[in-house]
């Protein structure tokens, strides 16, 4: 089971992620948010709120309760790296 170990914000809506399988990648939050809607996602459209993310129990979280699993993030990061 893959877990998220560390997250660093380096640009608006851009996160550098480190996973338990020793891989690293960039999560493009703007691209993710462009194709999704929902009440918990609206706050993340503000770059300053998006940057308030943190790791909890191996998942990416925000203060409003939104949580993205490490497995899904790992897929998104790998997909972004392969298609870019």
pLDDT 10s digits, 22-75 = 999 999 999 999 999 999 999 999 999 999 999 999 999 999 999 999 999 999
Please state the CATH superfamily assignment of the domain spanning residues 4-83 in this structure.
NE0471-like N-terminal domain (3.30.2020.10)
pLDDT of res. 79: 57
pLDDT of res. 84: 47
pLDDT of res. 64: 97
Tokens for 20? 């338990």
Tokens for 6? 């560390």
Q: Where are the domains of the chain?
A: 4-83
The kind and range of the H/E element at 24 are strand 24-28
Tokens 């380096």 locate to 10
């Amino acid at each position: 089971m893959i877990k998220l170990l560390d997250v660093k914000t380096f640009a608006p809506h851009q996160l550098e992620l480190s996973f338990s399988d020793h891989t690293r990648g960039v999560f493009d939050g703007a691209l993710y948010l462009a194709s999704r809607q929902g009440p918990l996602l609206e706050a993340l459209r503000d770059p300053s709120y998006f940057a308030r993310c943190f790791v909890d129990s191996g998942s990416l979280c925000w203060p409003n309760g939104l949580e993205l699993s490490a497995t899904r993030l790992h897929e998104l990061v790998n997909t972004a790296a392969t298609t870019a």
